[in-house]
Amino acid sequence: MKCLGLIGLGMIGGSIAAGLKRVSPQTRIVALDVSEDALRYGLSEGLIDDIAPTINDLMRMSDVICLCVPIKQLPTLMPALSAFSGVVTDVGSVKGPIVRLAEGLWGQLPANWIPAHPIAGSEQHSVRAARDDLFEAHKVILTPGNDVQGSAVELVSNLWQSLGAEVVVMSVAHHDDILAQTSHLPHLLAYTLVDVLAGFGDEREVFEYAAGGFRDFSRIAASDPVMWHDIFLTNKGPLLDRLRTVIEALEVTATLIEEESSEALLERLSRAKSARDYFADLQVQSAKKGA
């Protein structure tokens, strides 16, 4: 890869650029973004080498293009990329819409397209929050099509591995269901909880007495609402399936409390704690593996 073209220079795109500049300074990076401020910052901080005025300029300058924009922006971007002969990848949190859009445009996902999703990030979304180590010891999921070019998969895998990530491959449907459970649903619950508490009346008093548990759980509600609006709507099938299960579970818990079913309630809480402890152990093991 001689030149990486980034469409979107936010926190994820900026972190890709920062990490690549650290591990492969000879690789040229160009960016296209609607925010002139983001582009100027990227240039001033040495994250990118050049600005592409148009998507055609970006295609001419790059041999790999990475889409780092909200899902809802893809319908206006993807058609232009049909003329690009290099490798295309993305960082979207939902894969089904990308594949369906490609099928509508070209009949199938092109062989040079490698959908990807880094399982890393934060509630911040500006390029000013970019980190060169953001992807270290984190997973990146690839969901290549059936007729994919092996060399394209290898190139995208090498890109993420050079940034310290662990690359795994799975189907589009499995990815979207897994992410609905582990990312999209928690964000939806966090947004909903903060919105409900803010509507109780004197939200200043509510938030003034909120402890660490609320801070930790609600942190992700500070994420970009436009991005999460797009994710919720584009992955609504798997998300709604999991949300309905949680709503039913909350009703059960409410009944246990109302009826003072002490043993059943304690069993439910203990089961959840055991699952959380198991998750914490997995994180520790993963950190040791990456160290």
Tell me if 166 is assigned to some domain. Answer: yes
Instruction: Quick: pLDDT tens for 120-145.
Output: 877 677 899 999 999 999 999 999 99
Environment class of 260 (CB within 10 Å of its CB; exposed 0-12, middle 13-18, buried 19+): exposed
- 53 is a domain residue: yes
Rounded-to-integer distance, Cα 127 and Cα 45, Å: 10
Q: Where are the alpha helices (DSSP H) in the chain?
A: 11-23, 36-44, 55-61, 74-77, 96-106, 150-162, 172-179, 185-198, 203-208, 212-218, 225-234, 236-258, 262-290
Q: Which domain holds residue 24?
A: 3-170
Q: What is the pLDDT of residue 202?
A: 66
In a domain, 113, yes or no: yes
One domain, residues 158 and 17? yes
Query: Is residue 289 predicted with pLDDT exceeding 70?
Result: no
In angstroms, the CA 162 to CA 188 distance is 32
Q: State mean pLDDT over 262-289.
A: 87
Residues 141 and 232 in one domain: no
Residues 95 and 216 in one domain: no
Judged against a pLDDT cut of 80, whether residue 229 lies above it is answered with yes
> Is 265 part of a structural domain of the chain?
no
pTM here is 0.86
- Mean residue pLDDT of the chain comes to 92
Q: What is the pLDDT of residues 149-176, one digit of tens each?
A: 999 999 999 999 999 999 999 999 999 9
The reply to whether 279 falls in a domain is no
284 in a structural domain? no
Give CA–CA dist 69/4, Å, rounded: 15
Q: Which residue has the tokens 């910052």?
A: 41
Q: Does residue 276 fall inside a structural domain?
A: no
pLDDT of 200: 73
- Percentage of the chain lying above the pLDDT 90 cut: 77
Domains in the chain: how many in total?
A: 2
Average pLDDT over residues 191-206: 78
Q: Determine the Cα–Cα distance for residues 167 and 138; give it in Å rounded to an integer.
A: 9
60 with 201, same domain: the answer is: no
> Is the model's pLDDT at 94 over the cut of 90?
yes
- Give the model's pLDDT for residue 291: 56
pLDDT at residue 290, rounded to an integer: 59
92, 209: one domain: no
For residue 187, give the CATH number of its domain. 1.10.3660.10
> Measured between alpha carbons, how far apart are the two ends of the chain, in Å?
27
209 — pLDDT class (breaks 50, 70, 90): confident
